[in-house]
Structure 1
Amino acid sequence: MEDGFETDSRKLLGRLRDTMAEDSGGQTRLDKIVELIAHSMQTEVCSIYLFRDAETLELCATEGLEPGAVHQTRMRLGEGLVGRVARKRRTINTANAPAERGFRYMPETGEERYSSFCGVPIQRLGESLGVLVVQSKDAREYTADEIYALEVVAMVLAEMTELGAFVGEGAALSARHQQPVLIRGTVGQEGVVEGRVFLHEPRVVVTNPIADDPAAEKVRLNDAIERLRVTVDDLLENSGSVEAEQVQVFEAYRMFANSRSWLRRMEEDIDNGLTAEAAVEKEQSLARNRLNAAADPYLRERLHDLDDLSNRLLRILTGQGRETGAEMPENPVLVARNIGPGELLEYGKTIRGIVLEEGSVGSHAAVVARAWAIPLMVRCARITQEALNGDPILVDAEQGVVHLRPDEVVHNAFRDKLAMKNRAQERYASIRDLPAESRCGAVVSLHMNAGLMADLPSLPSSGAEGVGLFRTELQFLIRNKMPRRAELSALYARVMDAAGGKRVAFRTLDIGSDKVLPYMKPNDEPNPALGWRAIRVGLDKPGILRMQLQALIRAANGRPLTVMFPFIAQLEEFRAARAEFDKAMERERILGHPLPATVEVGAMLETPSLGYAPDVFYDEVDFLSIGGNDLKQFFFAADRENELVRRRYDTLNVSFLSFVQQVIERCIAHGTPLSFCGEDAGRPIEAVCFAAMGLRTLSMRPASIGPVKHLLRRVNLADVRAVIDEARARGDQSVRQAVMDHLRDGGFAAG
């Protein structure tokens, strides 16, 4: 690159900085900026288009086009050459714009006089903010040096836009991060909460994109990279206990941290007038663009590594991020792109809700959220880009929406909803110690699901009669290495102590599918939900299963013990798992350790195949628990992680209820205790229907016990069963509407 052009670029950025320092409104700044760029690049036209909304670009300033077109000319994303630059986030450089594919003629601008066109995206960390355009009458393509200079200027414009430099004084632009935003997502754990945003990884804000002293900025950059290299070297030195895949990630970090080409590109950006952090962010934005366009999985992983490393470097340069120890606001709602269970547990139960940009309904974060009974929303697009620390946020994980910086009308409606829920909770507290006995005298035993020691205080306060499901995998997921038997035994003993003699059903390790241990090599399976998971892992890796069973037996220490095996699909799997339990019991007897006073060994019915198991299975198993979440997805062949199908099928579909009824009848015939465990058990309408069909034990999250008990105590289950039978006889696809009509006619609210 020519030294003279670099000097001109720095001069232009210096003038831009001076313009920004002036006490003027947003439109005046925009007008001066396009004039400066056009003069510096010796081109007749310079225009800035910024997003009015997610789909609409607006001409906000121009030098050379008709002034009357400013704030009047708009185009949709992808429309015209400007719209194509914004959609593809790539530069378009052409000597003959009217002949270019997708060209849109805008007569109000007078641009027909100009043949050449160069449009550069204005973007920040993969977020498209607008387009910077230069045009000239001469039919020529702009040089690589000119395009590079435009990219540098666009980077500065992106930072200025982010900082709200173009707001006010007729600019017709709204200040970023100040307007209300509605974001739709997927419910990972039901509930509603009002709070303040606490970002897991706060946005790094570059407040000084234009450099005064390039030499000093290069020193800052090199010092920061050296600190980064030391950090990465430390990660590698301490990687002895992690899997090879994680070591490979650290090796990739080291490769990028020592990359001369990466450093050289950032130093060139500094030579052209950017500060060190702005240079890092410019290269990071380009890497994110390549990441979004990359089809090759290996390349995507490497670009993701570079993206993460850039974030680390930016935090070193700016002193921003988690390392600064930002205080948590009152009623914090954690907002993150994604988060692992260990990181989430570090925050503790002070978190009131969780909103993730990625994640899934079966992710580690979802498991912890359910254990804590706090609202969780996943797949909330752009939430980390829109939210700032301390922003007011309303999470409605019942309707599947998040209100960020809500207006007064939304806020008042939401508070009314919360007030109604609080009044309902007061009603539920009044019946906490009463049985879930229906009007017809049927008694339903309500149990709670748990997975952490922190859940157990909910046992007496919720009115639960026991723990119908204790998920043991959380203790494995949150560690970087396999827990020891003694550690597990001590934990399980504390769980039994906290339960105060009430029954606790311990489910053995349920890993695989969406729950992968950080220290186990993951299997690249095409459909992990149907793959090597749960009891299949336990039987193929019997050492883990035996160690866990021994820990449970020792934890019981002479008390009753209840164990159930997950994802049993056939009789032989249960027999093999039961044999491992019997071996563990015999080993403990030989060692002279006290054995449990009584033993229950059961299975989770999560696959339709187990409903058709031989009669001898129902004789051999001590109890069965229907795992509704998995059973429903396999029964309907509808992946519960797939938003296109997960809500397509109703739990109260007559086909599903007929299958459940068959299981109930087989269990009654063989005297096998049966329960229903899962999200549906905690929904009052579903719970009443299950009880009406004969289920007498339901297990759910603690917060659901009150609403379910409240409705069960007010209905006659025989009447509900009659409504279900009538709906089935009519050929209704679902009994939901018929049951809801019956409850409404009887004056019953669903909870």
Structure 2
Amino acid sequence: MAETTESESRKLLQRLRGTLAEDSAGQARLDSIVQIIADSMATGVCSIYLFRDAETLELCATEGLKPEAVHQTRMRLGEGLVGRVARTGQIVNSANAPGERGFRYMPETGEERFSSFLGVPIQRVGDKLGVLVVQSKEAREYSDDEVYALEVVAMVLAEMTELGAFTGEGAALSARHQNPVLFRGTVAQEGTAEGQVWLHEPRVVVTNPIAENPETETKRLTDAIEQLRVTVDDMLEGIRTGDKDQREVLETYRMFAHSRGWLRRMCEDIELGLSAEAAVEKEQSAARSRLQSVPDAYMRERLHDLDDLSRRLLRILTGQGKETGAEISDRPILVARNIGPGELLDYGRSLRGIVLEQGSVGSHAAIVARALAIPLVVQARNITTEALNGDNILVDGEQGIVHLRPEDNITAAFRDKMAMQAKAQERYADIRHLPATSLCGRTTALTMNAGLMADLPSLEGSGAEGVGLFRTELQFLANRSVPRRGDLARLYGRVMDAANGRPVVFRTLDIGSDKVLPYMKRPEEPNPALGWRAIRVGLDKKGIMRMQLQALIRAAAKRPLHVMFPFVAQFDEFREARAYVFQEIERERALGRDLPESVKVGAMLETPSLAFAPDRFFEETDFVSIGGNDLKQFFFAADRENERVRRRYDTLNVSYIALIEMIIGRCRDAGTSVSFCGEDAGRPIEAMCLAALGLDGLSMRPASIGPVKHLLRRVDLGEVRDVMEAARADGAQTVRPAVNDYLGRALSSG
């Protein structure tokens, strides 16, 4: 790049700096900016289009187009050349704009007179804010130097937009981070919470996008890069030899940190007038645009590595630190793009709620959140962009709605809802020690799901009769290496101690799909939910399975042991896994160790295929737990993490009920106990219908036991079964309407 171009670019940024420093309203600033750019670049037109909402762009300032078009011309995302730039995040540089595919003729602007078009996205690390456009009458493509200069200006505009430079009287934008915002996500753990935002990775605020002295900024950048390299090298030194996957990630960090191209591009940005911080963010945004459109999944994954490294570099440059000096409130609600299980466990039960921009209902975070009984909403798009530490926030984990900076009337209604829920829980406390015996005399065992020692105090408080599912994978997910057998044995022993004689069903390691261990290489699978997971991993990696079985046997010394294998698809898998249990018992006997008082080995029925297994499966297994979450998604071929289809099919659909009924019948014929575990077990109406089908037990989160028991004790399960049968005989697709009508009559008369 020529020195004259660099000098002109710095002059342009210095002129912009002066305009931005003036005490003027937002619209006046924008008007001044487009005039300066058009004059400096000698173009006929300069225009700024900003997002009014997620799908709409508005012409907010122009020099060269008709002034009356400002705030009147709007277009949808993807519409016209401006909309294309906004949608793709890619530059459009054309010598014949009217001839380009998708060109939109807007007579109110008069732009058909201009042939040349250069559009650059205004974005800040994935946050799309608008489009900066220059146009000329002569037909020509803008040079690389001109494109580069406009990119630098767009970066400054993005930073100033973030800082609220274009708000105020007559402003083109409303102030960011001030207005109420509603986010609709996906429920991953039910519950409601009110509190203050605590950002897991606080947004680094760049307050000085334009710098006066390139030499000073270059030195600041190179010093920060050197500090970053030392940090990465120290992290690598601290990794144990066996942690291969973690080492690979840090080697990627080191590769980026030592990249000459990365440093060169940032230094060039500084030469054009940017500060070191703005240069880092500009290259981070540019890399995002490049990598997000790459079809190679491995390369897209590297985007996360570069994002993390850029954030580390920005924290060094700004001195803001990871926590930005903020103090966590006494009612923190964690807001993050995503978070690993170990990091979430570090926060523990101090959190009131969790909101993730990414994540899924089956993610590591969701598993931990369920174990901690913390409301969790995932897929809350762009919340990390909008939220600031300390913002008031309401999390509705019943509907998947998040209110950020809510208005007073919304907060009041939300508090009323929480008060009603608390009052209901007080009512359930009165029946805590009573059995779930229905009016017809049938008793259904209600047990709780758990995965951490911290869950066990809920046994007494919830009225659960035991632990119907203890998820053993959390200890594996939270560690950076395989847990030691002795540590697992001690943990499992403490769990049994805390249960105080109540039964605990330990589900063996359920990993795979989206539950990948930090120290386990993730296989590339087109459909992980149907891939190498759970018992399939255990049977292929026999060492881990046998080690876990040894730990369970030692923990149970002289006490009953209940072991359950997950995701069994055929009888042979269960038979092989069951054989390992008794082989390890014989091994422990030979070593002279104390053995369990009794051993029951069961299977989790989560695949439709196992419902049709040979009779011998039902005869040889000691108990069956129907895993409703997976069974339902496989039965209806509806991914439970896909919002478009997961709510499409009803648990009380007659076809699904027929499958559950068949499983119960086969277990009855074999004299094998059968229970139901999953989200539906904790929903009172679904739980009532499942109990009416004849299940021996239901296993759910502790908070659901009270509401389920309360309803079961008020109905006659025989009558519920008759209502369901009548609805099926009438040809209904779901028994829900008939059951709701019955409940309305039965509860009002009772």
So what's the TM-score if we normalise by structure 1?
0.97
Which stretch of the first structure deviates more once superposed, 150-159 or 229-238?
Answer: 229-238
Partners of 2:719 and 2:526 in 1: CA distance: 46
Residue 566 (structure 1) shift: 1.6
Superposed counterparts of 1:527-566, under 5 Å: 527-566=527-566
How many pairs does the alignment contain? 750
SS of the aligned residue for 1:644 comes to: helix
- Alignment match, 1:141: 141
Partners of 2:106 and 2:606 in 1: CA distance: 61
Tell me if the contact between 1:242 and 1:480 (Cα under 8 Å) persists in the aligned partners. Answer: no
Residue 64 (structure 1) shift: 2.4
Partners of 1:86 and 1:669 in 2: CA distance: 63
Q: Does 1:93 align with 2:102?
A: no
Residue 321 (structure 1) shift: 4.7
| AA aligned opposite 1:369 | A
Q: Does 1:411 align with 2:411?
A: yes
Instruction: Indicate how the Cα distance of structure 1 residues 582 and 405 shifts in structure 2: closer, same or farther if over 3 A, else same.
Output: same
- Alignment match, 1:615: 615
Which stretch of the first structure deviates more once superposed, 300-309 or 571-580?
Answer: 300-309
- Alignment match, 2:454: 454
| AA aligned opposite 2:378 | V
- Alignment match, 2:217: 217
- Alignment match, 1:483: 483
SS of the aligned residue for 1:123 comes to: strand
Tell me if the contact between 1:563 and 1:601 (Cα under 8 Å) persists in the aligned partners. Answer: yes
Q: Report percent identity of matched pairs.
A: 72
| AA aligned opposite 2:256 | F
Residue 324 (structure 1) shift: 4.4
Partners of 2:331 and 2:289 in 1: CA distance: 36
- Alignment match, 1:337: 337
- Alignment match, 1:80: 80
Partners of 2:538 and 2:202 in 1: CA distance: 40
Residue 342 (structure 1) shift: 0.6
Instruction: Indicate how the Cα distance of structure 1 residues 579 and 748 shifts in structure 2: closer, same or farther if over 3 A, else same.
Output: farther
- Alignment match, 1:430: 430
- Alignment match, 1:397: 397
Partners of 1:114 and 1:538 in 2: CA distance: 66
Q: Does 1:669 align with 2:680?
A: no
Tell me if the contact between 1:290 and 1:303 (Cα under 8 Å) persists in the aligned partners. Answer: no
Tell me if the contact between 1:465 and 1:502 (Cα under 8 Å) persists in the aligned partners. Answer: yes
Which stretch of the first structure deviates more once superposed, 524-533 or 715-724?
Answer: 524-533
Residue 81 (structure 1) shift: 2.3
Tell me if the contact between 2:47 and 2:62 (Cα under 8 Å) persists in the aligned partners. Answer: yes
Tell me if the contact between 2:26 and 2:172 (Cα under 8 Å) persists in the aligned partners. Answer: no
Tell me if the contact between 1:354 and 1:377 (Cα under 8 Å) persists in the aligned partners. Answer: yes
Tell me if the contact between 1:334 and 1:351 (Cα under 8 Å) persists in the aligned partners. Answer: yes
| AA aligned opposite 2:19 | T
Residue 748 (structure 1) shift: 6.0
Residue 175 (structure 1) shift: 0.7
Q: 1:271-322 deviations in whole A, cap 9, x for unaligned?
A: 1110001001001110000122111223323344323221221121112352
Partners of 1:241 and 1:738 in 2: CA distance: 62
SS of the aligned residue for 2:644 comes to: coil
Q: 1:682-726 deviations in whole A, cap 9, x for unaligned?
A: 110011001111113111000000110111111111111110000
| AA aligned opposite 2:578 | R
Tell me if the contact between 1:689 and 1:721 (Cα under 8 Å) persists in the aligned partners. Answer: yes
Q: Does 1:239 align with 2:239?
A: yes
- Alignment match, 2:318: 318
Residue 97 (structure 1) shift: 2.8
Which stretch of the first structure deviates more once superposed, 476-485 or 67-76?
Answer: 67-76
Q: Does 1:597 align with 2:597?
A: yes
Partners of 1:590 and 1:90 in 2: CA distance: 68
Q: Which runs of 5+ in 1 are unaligned?
A: none
- Alignment match, 1:524: 524
Residue 243 (structure 1) shift: 4.2
Superposition misfits of 4+ residues, deviation over 4 angstroms: none
Tell me if the contact between 2:244 and 2:519 (Cα under 8 Å) persists in the aligned partners. Answer: no
Instruction: Indicate how the Cα distance of structure 1 residues 49 and 522 shifts in structure 2: closer, same or farther if over 3 A, else same.
Output: closer
Partners of 1:459 and 1:292 in 2: CA distance: 46
| AA aligned opposite 1:392 | N
Q: 1:409-464 deviations in whole A, cap 9, x for unaligned?
A: 32222222212211111111121122211111211111000000010011100110
Q: 1:632-683 deviations in whole A, cap 9, x for unaligned?
A: 1222222223333222221111111112112222222232121111111111
Partners of 1:394 and 1:275 in 2: CA distance: 37
Which stretch of the first structure deviates more once superposed, 372-381 or 471-480?
Answer: 372-381
- Alignment match, 2:299: 299
Partners of 1:461 and 1:517 in 2: CA distance: 32
SS of the aligned residue for 1:138 comes to: coil
Partners of 1:329 and 1:584 in 2: CA distance: 49
| AA aligned opposite 1:479 | N
Which stretch of the first structure deviates more once superposed, 639-648 or 263-272?
Answer: 639-648
Residue 365 (structure 1) shift: 0.8
Partners of 2:4 and 2:194 in 1: CA distance: 56
Residue 115 (structure 1) shift: 3.1
Q: Does 1:205 align with 2:205?
A: yes
Residue 749 (structure 1) shift: 12
Tell me if the contact between 1:743 and 1:749 (Cα under 8 Å) persists in the aligned partners. Answer: no
Q: 1:72-109 deviations in whole A, cap 9, x for unaligned?
A: 22222222222222222222223333333322233333
Residue 388 (structure 1) shift: 1.5
- Alignment match, 1:193: 193
Instruction: Indicate how the Cα distance of structure 1 residues 144 and 616 shifts in structure 2: closer, same or farther if over 3 A, else same.
Output: closer
- Alignment match, 1:682: 682
SS of the aligned residue for 2:426 comes to: helix
Partners of 1:290 and 1:175 in 2: CA distance: 30
Which stretch of the first structure deviates more once superposed, 414-423 or 713-722?
Answer: 414-423
Partners of 2:100 and 2:677 in 1: CA distance: 61
Instruction: Indicate how the Cα distance of structure 1 residues 195 and 748 shifts in structure 2: closer, same or farther if over 3 A, else same.
Output: farther
Partners of 1:639 and 1:367 in 2: CA distance: 17
Q: 1:494-523 deviations in whole A, cap 9, x for unaligned?
A: 101111111111111111222112222222
| AA aligned opposite 1:239 | I
Partners of 1:110 and 1:655 in 2: CA distance: 62
Partners of 2:324 and 2:94 in 1: CA distance: 47
Q: 1:125-172 deviations in whole A, cap 9, x for unaligned?
A: 122211112223333332221121111111101100111100012124
Tell me if the contact between 1:243 and 1:521 (Cα under 8 Å) persists in the aligned partners. Answer: no
Residue 370 (structure 1) shift: 0.9
| AA aligned opposite 2:248 | Q
Superposed counterparts of 1:86-165, under 5 Å: 86-165=86-165
| AA aligned opposite 1:474 | L
Partners of 1:183 and 1:168 in 2: CA distance: 25
SS of the aligned residue for 1:317 comes to: helix
- Alignment match, 1:702: 702
Superposed counterparts of 1:162-173, under 5 Å: 162-173=162-173
Partners of 1:85 and 1:635 in 2: CA distance: 43
- Alignment match, 1:356: 356
Q: 1:35-63 deviations in whole A, cap 9, x for unaligned?
A: 22122222232221111111221121222
- Alignment match, 1:514: 514
SS of the aligned residue for 2:566 comes to: strand
SS of the aligned residue for 1:108 comes to: coil
SS of the aligned residue for 2:488 comes to: helix
Partners of 2:91 and 2:625 in 1: CA distance: 58
Q: Does 1:3 align with 2:3?
A: yes
Q: 1:208-248 deviations in whole A, cap 9, x for unaligned?
A: 10102111111110001001111221232233345434333
Partners of 1:78 and 1:607 in 2: CA distance: 43
Superposed counterparts of 1:494-509, under 5 Å: 494-509=494-509
Partners of 1:501 and 1:219 in 2: CA distance: 66
So what's the TM-score if we normalise by structure 2?
0.97
Q: Which runs of 5+ in 2 are unaligned?
A: none
Partners of 2:329 and 2:70 in 1: CA distance: 41
SS of the aligned residue for 2:567 comes to: strand
Partners of 2:103 and 2:634 in 1: CA distance: 50
Partners of 1:66 and 1:590 in 2: CA distance: 92
Q: 1:243-278 deviations in whole A, cap 9, x for unaligned?
A: 434333222222221111111111111111100010
| AA aligned opposite 1:451 | G
Superposed counterparts of 1:241-280, under 5 Å: 241-280=241-280
| AA aligned opposite 1:491 | L
Residue 22 (structure 1) shift: 1.6
Task: Give RMSD over aligned pairs.
Answer: 1.8
Tell me if the contact between 1:287 and 1:307 (Cα under 8 Å) persists in the aligned partners. Answer: no
| AA aligned opposite 2:92 | I
